[in-house]
Structure 1
Amino acid sequence: MRSSNYDKFPFVLVAAEADACQIGWPAIVGALQKALQAAPTVPTHPLVLAVECYPGTNLKQLQQELTQALQPALCLVADDLYQLPAEIDALVAGPLTDDPVFGRLNGLTVADFFNPQQLQQAQETLAVAAGKLVVIVGTGATLVHPTPAVVVYADLARWEIQLRQRRNEIANLGSTNFGEKASLKYKRAFFVDWRAADRLKKQVLPRADFLLDTNGPAAPKLVRGADLRAGLAAAVRRPFRVVPFFDPGPWGGQWLREVCDLPEGPANYAWGFDCVPEENSLLLGFGEARVEIPSINLVFAHPRELLGEAVHGRFGTEFPIRFDFLDTMGGGNLSLQVHPLTEYAQDKFGLAYTQDESYYMLDAKPDAVVYLGLKEKVDFPTMLEELQRAQQDNAVPFPAAKYVNEFPARPHDHFLIPAGTIHCSGANAMVLEISATPYIFTFKLWDWARLGLDGRPRPIHLEHGAANIVPDRTTAWVTQHLVNQVEPVGSGPGWREERTGLHEREFIETRRHWFTDVVPHHTHGGVQVLNLVQGTEALVESPNGAFEPFVVHYAETFIVPAAVGAYTIRPHGSAVGTECATMKAYVRT
């Protein structure tokens, strides 16, 4: 292991003035009062402040603070106008299915949650509040009254939502399931709540007068919508990092704790989410204040500048590349798993594309291995029988070494894993996972007879997995096509470039640069994601000064928007005079 200056709270500076951000309820309410006073009024209409909320926002606190300070004639909570929880359960049952992990993507909207009669009654009540201040809060507030005088968008990071789910502080949208297992609340949020809320967010955020950061209940933060949009416009024209988060797991290790200087509390850290824009946050700097928003907001606001025309045309407002960490250093094997083939993902889950991926080894102990592909002449039906037997009786473990290849893993090895290939990382390895981004579609086949952190067996998806393992991806084929497919493609003074994959079935291209001097790069009209896989730090610069020089440290992932065009990378600080390396991923076009 090695230490680094890994930055856990990277941010994009938006404004140097501290007063651009209002912190705490007194300051926030003062800014809203000024906005309401300046808003045009129509004597025959109510003066409406609508606070559109992302699911998981603390509505009780929000309602209390606003009504106490503003003393409106009426305060409506949009969520109170929904259908009954049992009716909403029936509404979402189809997309959720009865599987404990997987559901089906769907077209539900926030409007589908409302009871039409109650919504109409609320709107009739508003009609008789002419000339009076009315506050509407909740998910769908702007659907209750589509033309408010002042619009606030109360936003919340996905990671904070998950933490609140685990603490049983929140229920799902329109539900009362506070005490349900966190994994089931996450599943419902993933397939229903967040999809519906994001559809509404795309409509509301571009016209919001203010953005309210509700991640810290004790210190909420308010910025003007114009300043938010200026910050997003600035971010999309320079390299930037999203805010990483880390989570323990049953196989987790200790590498991330040391290298990323993580807290001692958890027993391990299994996952590090370093570039998953739908899950990660983006920090915007306003003076000394930091405003946290979901980084997917940037994808929604500037898809063409961020992704590039070709990538946007193919993926829409989805960020298709994911970089994350899998730490088994001092831990255990990942679950033996497989990802769905494209047609299976489309048919069963409504996905546009599947999770092709690769393992890049940031670090590994001498005994580290990667399980990848089947051995030659495997009796496939017998293997499935043995997997099934192992699920039914933990005393009869699945003999993985009998069926699955074990390739020695060394630092900087690169293993390619197109969907349908059985795989997992073994213990004592540190993986930088470079993959497509359908998020949760991993079929566990065998979990080494262990329990999850909650003391319960983790779900096994043998039926799904059996339908997706490609039997002819055996030793010879895997060795020829998936292990260290390194090809020199270019060089210059003080640098050399190698192609390391991915497989032709995968849409992501990866390039590794080794360098002791300045390396020229260009986005060529498409978004790029990079990680500094060797060297203490590097400097990313614009040849024409289009953005401020950007420092990255060992193991940090950063995004270079398509709009950046030309940029360079060189060793910096203590790395000067040493050989550094980056791994770069982009979408093949």
Structure 2
Amino acid sequence: MKLYPLKFEPIFKYRMWGGNKLETVLNKSISESNIGESWEISAVSGDENKVSQGFLKGKTLPELIEGYKEALLGETVYKRFGGEFPLLIKFIDTAKPLSVQLHPNDDYAKKYHDSFGKNEMWYIMQADDDAEIIVGFDKKSDKESFAASLKDKSIIELLNSEKTKKGDVFHIPTGRIHAIGAGVLLAEIQQTSDVTYRVYDYDRVDTQTGTKRELHIDKAIDVIDFQIEENGYKTAYPSHENESNELIHTPYFKTSFIPLRGSLNKDYSNTDSFVIFICVEGTSELSCQGDSFQLNKGETLLLPACINHITLKGDSADILEVTV
């Protein structure tokens, strides 16, 4: 039987900083409190999403790759990554600030964790009026001054903090220090990796464990990028209706923004990659092979590489389009 556009059952993650917007804004069926992350498409070991509809219902991503190989991933992607799915897609909701953290590159992560590195990006879906994020440095620093700021707990004074709002986009390459502040709901696209180096956590105690969370300062200092981006850290992008507008295109993933205001035909014959659609606003419909699939705000869909022609429809929907 032929492959079709795939939806997955989300995996919900307790986080001490988690809120309730995944349920109240994105309509996720959540019965627990402090759920900070919804893993939408994951092949991380132990956290593999299962298909939620169709004859492949219950199959995990690794099982799909084993069975369909290039037809699912694309020839180039399969040659590059083999049986590993290269991306992890999440929604993140922060009622409290995240720890100040950063991620290693591929070489360092492979050496110490047998993992991919973690390049990532954020698309802000909703932000409270006073919501802020931390991305990069605001003041010149080096390993010595950075270590001293951690010791005397003045690190926040070195960092670039800025107000954020719906539609903001930030690229978080490996080594870039960052933290999501309280009151933010965002979509995150990242390499398949769960390696995070915390450097500062406000001396908080996790009520679920009764202990402070582990810090990873030595490894963080090995890989941190102290460069200041003179042009700022927010990504500017066009938003032409019914077009794929480039957001963040890197060697690890390519994300575009589609403001859908009617109907859009897409031809992926030359893409040679699966495509992930993330609905960040409104309601849309994807049609292909004689079938239609609804995609609501807070839902994610994986289009296998073997499907080249689709139609997207929506009156006022915003879609993130992700390939490798």
User: TM (normalized to structure 2)?
Assistant: 0.91
Corresponding position of 2:49:
280
Corresponding position of 1:48:
none
User: Partners of 1:557 and 1:400 in 2: how far apart?
Assistant: 36
Corresponding position of 2:147:
384
Q: Does 1:319 align with 2:73?
A: no
CA offset digits 1:409-456 (Å, max 9, x no partner): 110111000101001111100011111112x21111111211222111
Does the Cα contact within 8 Å between 2:61 and 2:85 map onto a contact in 1?
Answer: no
Cα RMSD between the aligned structures?
A: 2.1
Corresponding position of 2:263:
518
Q: Give matches, 1:455-470, under 5 Å.
A: 455-470=210-225
Corresponding position of 1:20:
none
State the shift of 1:379 in Å: 4.9
SS of residue paired to 2:39: strand
User: Partners of 2:164 and 2:238 in 1: how far apart?
Assistant: 19
CA offset digits 1:272-317 (Å, max 9, x no partner): 111114421123557xxx9633232111111200110011111111
Would you tell me which structure has more helix in proportion to its own residues?
A: 1
- Distance change (3 Å), C-alpha of 1:547 and 1:404: farther
Does the Cα contact within 8 Å between 2:177 and 2:224 map onto a contact in 1?
Answer: yes
Give the one of 559, 563, 568 matched to 2:302.
559
SS of residue paired to 2:9: coil
Which structure has the bigger radius of gyration?
A: 1
- Distance change (3 Å), C-alpha of 1:304 and 1:496: closer
CA offset digits 1:114-172 (Å, max 9, x no partner): xxxxxxxxxxxxxxxxxxxxxxxxxxxxxxxxxxxxxxxxxxxxxxxxxxxxxxxxxxx
User: Partners of 2:313 and 2:39 in 1: how far apart?
Assistant: 25
Corresponding position of 2:203:
449
User: Partners of 1:399 and 1:423 in 2: how far apart?
Assistant: 15
Aligned length: 318
Corresponding position of 1:507:
252
SS of residue paired to 1:434: strand
User: Partners of 1:560 and 1:500 in 2: how far apart?
Assistant: 20
Corresponding position of 1:495:
242
SS of residue paired to 1:584: strand
Give the one of 322, 343, 347 matched to 2:111.
347
- Distance change (3 Å), C-alpha of 1:568 and 1:355: same
State the shift of 1:249 in Å: 1.1
Q: Give matches, 1:423-442, under 5 Å.
A: 423-438=178-193, 440-442=194-196
CA offset digits 1:319-364 (Å, max 9, x no partner): 1122101101xx111111110023212332333x411001110110
Give the one of 411, 416, 421 matched to 2:166.
411
Corresponding position of 1:583:
320
Q: Give matches, 1:100-249, under 5 Å.
A: 230=1, 234=2, 237-249=3-15
Q: Which has the higher contact order (CA 8 A, sep 6+)?
A: 2
User: Partners of 1:530 and 1:245 in 2: how far apart?
Assistant: 18
Would you tell me which structure has more strand in proportion to its own residues?
A: 2
Give the partner amino acid of 1:528.
V
User: Partners of 1:555 and 1:264 in 2: how far apart?
Assistant: 13
User: Partners of 2:320 and 2:30 in 1: how far apart?
Assistant: 29
Does the Cα contact within 8 Å between 1:321 and 1:586 map onto a contact in 2?
Answer: no
Give structure 1 stretches of 5+ with no counterpart: 1-229, 391-397
User: Partners of 2:247 and 2:57 in 1: how far apart?
Assistant: 37
Q: Does 1:527 align with 2:265?
A: no
SS of residue paired to 1:449: coil
User: TM (normalized to structure 1)?
Assistant: 0.51
Give the partner amino acid of 2:310.
Y
- Distance change (3 Å), C-alpha of 1:252 and 1:522: same
- Distance change (3 Å), C-alpha of 1:264 and 1:345: closer
Using the TM superposition, name which of 551-560 and 517-526 deviates more: 517-526
Corresponding position of 1:368:
131
State the shift of 1:527 in Å: 0.6
User: Partners of 1:283 and 1:532 in 2: how far apart?
Assistant: 17
Does the Cα contact within 8 Å between 2:176 and 2:225 map onto a contact in 1?
Answer: yes
- Distance change (3 Å), C-alpha of 1:269 and 1:446: same
SS of residue paired to 1:293: coil
User: Partners of 1:377 and 1:260 in 2: how far apart?
Assistant: 39
Moved segments of 4+, more than 6 Å: none
User: Partners of 2:111 and 2:214 in 1: how far apart?
Assistant: 21
Does the Cα contact within 8 Å between 1:525 and 1:565 map onto a contact in 2?
Answer: no
Q: Does 1:549 align with 2:292?
A: yes
- Distance change (3 Å), C-alpha of 1:407 and 1:350: same
Give the partner amino acid of 1:335.
S
User: Partners of 1:522 and 1:313 in 2: how far apart?
Assistant: 22
Does the Cα contact within 8 Å between 1:540 and 1:570 map onto a contact in 2?
Answer: yes
User: Partners of 2:212 and 2:245 in 1: how far apart?
Assistant: 42
- Of all paired residues, the percent bearing the same amino acid is 23
Corresponding position of 1:335:
99
Give the partner amino acid of 2:16.
P
Q: Give matches, 1:227-306, under 5 Å.
A: 230=1, 234=2, 237-262=3-28, 265-278=31-44, 279-283=48-52, 285=54, 292-306=58-72
CA offset digits 1:33-74 (Å, max 9, x no partner): xxxxxxxxxxxxxxxxxxxxxxxxxxxxxxxxxxxxxxxxxx
Does the Cα contact within 8 Å between 1:527 and 1:586 map onto a contact in 2?
Answer: yes
- Distance change (3 Å), C-alpha of 1:285 and 1:496: closer
- Distance change (3 Å), C-alpha of 1:411 and 1:469: same
User: Partners of 1:532 and 1:264 in 2: how far apart?
Assistant: 19
SS of residue paired to 1:326: strand
